[in-house]
Amino acid sequence: MTVEEPCPVLVQARGGPSPLYEPEDPAAYDDLGAYTRTVPLDDERLALPADLADALRAWSRSRPAGGFTSRPDLRKHVKHGLATTQQLGRF
C-alpha cells in the first residue's frame, strides 16, 4: 500500500484495534463483503504517522459492542469517523 503500489482498504469501525480491512482475495476489491482481513495500523505498507494511527484506533474502539442506543451519539461517531477517514485519504 505504498505510493508505488496502492491497495484498496475499507475503513469501518467494528470495535477492534484497527478500522482498516483488506480483501482476502486482492482481485475482489469491488466486493465489500470480501474485506475481512484486518490491516494493523502499524503495518509497514501503510507507514501511518503515529497521530493518525492513534486517531483511527480511538475512533474504532469508541464504537459500542452492542451498537449505539441514541441517534445523536451515532451521528457524533460518524462525523468523527468521516473526519478521521478524510485525514487518512489526504495522507
Cell of 78: 460518524
Express each pLDDT in 14-29 by its tens digit. 988 999 999 988 888 8
User: Pick from 57, 69, 50, 52: which is nearest to 14 by CA?
Assistant: 57
Q: Cβ(46)–Cβ(39) under 8 Å?
A: yes
pLDDT exceeds 80 at position 67: yes
Confidence bin at 2 (pLDDT 50/70/90): very low
Burial of 19 (0-12, 13-18, 19+ CB in 10 A): buried
Phi, psi of 19 (to 5 degrees): -95, 15
pLDDT exceeds 80 at position 3: no
Mean pLDDT on 18-45: 91
* pTM value > 0.85: no
